[in-house]
Every structure is written in C-alpha cells, then in structure tokens.
Amino acid sequence: MSASRPRRVLVTGCAGFIGSTVIAQWLRDTDWRLIGVDTLGYAGLRESLAEALDDPRFTLHVADIADAAAMTEVFAREQPDAVVHLAAESHVDRSLSGPAAFIQTNLVGMAALLDAARRHTGTLDHQRRAGFRFLNVSTDEVFGALGPTGRFNEGSPHAPNSPYSATKAGADHLARAWHRSYGLPVLTTYSPNNYGPRQLPEKLIPRIIAAALAGQPLPIYGDGSQIRDWLHVDDHASALRAVLERGQIGETYCVGGGTEVSNLVLVQRLCALLDARRPASAPHAALIRHVADRPGHDWRYALDGSKLERELGWTAQRRLDEGLAATVDWYLANPDWLAAAHRSLATA
C-alpha cells in the first residue's frame, strides 16, 4: 500500500448482504476508496447500496467475476491494493436444486478472479506488491457438521456436505494454491451464519420476520434442533477489516460468533420480539410449522475464534439478543427494501 494515497479496496459481491455492510461500514470508518464488483443478479440489490452510490469514494462495476476480460479491465483501471472476495452463490437450498450456478461462480469465478489478481500484482512495483492482499471469505460450512460438543478451528479438515459448501471448500483450495504456487498474498476467513439488515428473505431470519408480518406459516426444517453460531454482519465486516489490515499472509482465521442457538429457539425469540412490536390476534409462534428436513442438513456448526482474538485482538461486540432486536427493528423500518428484495427473489 502506498502511504501517499488512500488504500483502494476491491469488494466483490458488494451488493449482497455482507458486501453492502462492508461497503457502508468501511466508507464510514476509513478513508479508503472502495471499488465494488457485482452482477446485480437476484441476490445483489442496488437498493442495498443506495447511500454508497452517492459517495464519491465508491465505484460500482456491474460485472461477473467469471468474466476474465472484465476482471482484467477492472484491475487495470482501478489499481486496487486489496481484494475482499464476497461474490458467491450463497443459498444452500438453491445449491441442492441447481448446483451448476454454484460451480460456475464459486469455482470458475474464483479461479478467474484469483488469476486476474495474480496478473495485476505482476504489474505492481515492489512496494505496492508487498502491500497487496487477497482476502477469501469462506464459511464454517466447509468443515461439515459437529456433534453436541467441540468447535471447528483453523486446523479442522474440510468435509463439506452440500453443493454450496463443496464449492466454497474448493474455492478455499484454489486460494491456497494461488498463494503456494504463485505467491499471491492470500488470507482466508471462516465465518458462521451472519444476521442483520439487508439479508434476502430467502435466508432464515428475514424469511421468518417477513412471513410472520404477513401472517404466513413459519417453516422450520425438521425438529428445529439444528444449532448455528450466529454472528452479526457488522461484527463480520469489522473482523474482515482486522484480517485485511493485520492478518498474516497465507493464514486462515475463524470468526467466532460465540452465540450458539438452535433454529427453533431462534425462531421463538424472533416471534417474541414481533409479539412485542406488532402484536397479532395470536402469538406469532403459533405460525411455526415443522417441514421435511433439508437433505444432508448439518446438525451443528460452531467456530473457535480464539486465534483471531489472540493474534489480532478481535472479538465480536454484538450480543445475540440485542442484535436480533435491532435486526427485527430494521426490517420493520424498511418495508420498501423488503418489497424490493421480494421482487428480486421473484425474478430468480
């Protein structure tokens, strides 16, 4: 990174749930120039970037990471000092019904992006090359499922169970290979389930909120005993910044949420929050319906975030009860965003 100009960070998947949070938080907290890349497909909403699009420090490129020529042009024109790679097909259910799109973006796209970054670093002078970083954002799902005890850590073997997690695991291996074979300065993070504003209502928390507000059934896979380790998306964005700024090249970091809860208890908490804010004729929990479990559904995920805390001094700040309440309040306060998200989902 040059000391004479603000850092220029290319964020793929910038119009998605985590990408739009990263853009908003980093525009607020840094002087960096942010370059967004997104196809603006069904999961990428221009509405999620509304404020960023008015900020001269943000530039959006509507492009596909699998398009090598387009990526080469973006790198040449924007001269980034770092890449934060968030673009992905991300919904497990869609990966079960249509894995090809996941292979295309999460593997073919990943390889195209890594190679564009590699060729770009070859054009940089020594100082800029030494400062360049490629942050690969991965998921706890690459590790497979846990039993009732233990947590995954950076040494856990990849054992993915869904087409989604298999493509994310493959992407991790590609990132590792571009580091080991070509010296690309890669770092990888593993995150648990995120929650917060601007998440499409095909994912559990916003889907439950939207359905409850519409008085519709609240579907829960199986008995709802599956346990997830929830991380507020603001915490995820700050963890990614810590790794980008202070992480060691070639290292991997688990971002622990420290908030394990079963899907059923989570939905019951959301219902209680909605009962307090939008009372209906019956408690919202009366709308809960157990539906057939997802094939290959992992029972429990949990991450040990102690390496990130020990080495980079990062821990999650938001408690689940407070974060969930703020999330419910955000969806209640943003019906226009929710309507746009439903329209986008209808086109998918």
Ligand X SMILES: NC(=O)c1ccc[n+]([C@@H]2O[C@H](COP(=O)([O-])OP(=O)(O)OC[C@H]3O[C@@H](n4cnc5c(N)ncnc54)[C@H](O)[C@@H]3O)[C@@H](O)[C@H]2O)c1
Active site residue 93: no
Q: What is the DSSP string of 111-137?
A: HHHHHHHHHHHTTS-HHHHHH-EEEEE
Q: Which of 42, 64, 89, 164 is catalytic?
A: 164
How many angstroms from the chain centroid is the CA of residue 21? 9
Q: Is 105 in the site for ligand X (CB under 6 A)?
A: yes
Q: Is 109 in the site for ligand X (CB under 6 A)?
A: yes
Q: Is 193 in the site for ligand X (CB under 6 A)?
A: yes
CB atoms within 10 A of CB 295: 8
Q: Is 327 in the site for ligand X (CB under 6 A)?
A: no
Residues numbered 122 to 181 that lie near ligand X (CB under 6 A) are: 137, 139, 168
For residue 279, what is the DSSP state?
A: -
Cα–Cα distance for residue pair 198/47, rounded to 1 Å:
9
Window of 40-48, 127-135, 243-251, 300-308 that interacts with ligand X by CB under 6 A: 40-48
Active site residue 141: yes
Residue from 35, 38, 163, 308 in contact with ligand X (CB under 6 A): 38
Window of 121-129, 177-185, 186-194, 315-323 that interacts with ligand X by CB under 6 A: 186-194
Nearer to ligand X, 1 or 156 (CB): 156
Task: Say whether 323 sits in a helix, a strand or coil.
Answer: helix
Yes or no: say if 261 and 205 are a contact pair by the CB < 8 Å rule.
Answer: no
CA dihedral 67, 69, 74, 75 (to 10 degrees): 110
Nearer to ligand X, 12 or 121 (CB): 12
Q: Which of 47, 64, 81, 141 is catalytic?
A: 141
Residue from 9, 15, 34, 112 in contact with ligand X (CB under 6 A): 15
Residues numbered 245 to 304 that lie near ligand X (CB under 6 A) are: none
Window of 72-80, 81-89, 118-126, 274-282 that interacts with ligand X by CB under 6 A: 81-89
CA dihedral 35, 38, 39, 44 (to 10 degrees): -140
Active site residue 140: yes
Cα–Cα distance for residue pair 171/346, rounded to 1 Å:
29
Q: Is 237 in the site for ligand X (CB under 6 A)?
A: no
Q: Which residue's CB comes closest to ligand X?
A: 16
Going by C-alpha positions, the residue among 224, 222, 309 that lies closest to residue 268 is 224
How far is it between the farthest Cα atoms of the chain? 67
Q: Is 64 in the site for ligand X (CB under 6 A)?
A: yes
Q: Is 16 in the site for ligand X (CB under 6 A)?
A: yes
CB of 281 to ligand X, least distance (A): 33
> Counting Cβ atoms within 10 Å, is residue 312 exposed (0-12), middle (13-18) or buried (19+)?
middle
Q: Is 18 in the site for ligand X (CB under 6 A)?
A: yes
Q: Is 112 in the site for ligand X (CB under 6 A)?
A: no
Buried b (16+ CB within 10 A) or exposed e, 72-92: eebbeebbbbbbbbbbbbbbb
Residues serving a catalytic function are 140-141, 164
Judged by the rule CB under 6 A, the positions of this chain that interact with ligand X are 12-13, 15-19, 37-41, 43-44, 64-66, 86-90, 105, 109, 137, 139, 168, 191, 193-194, 200
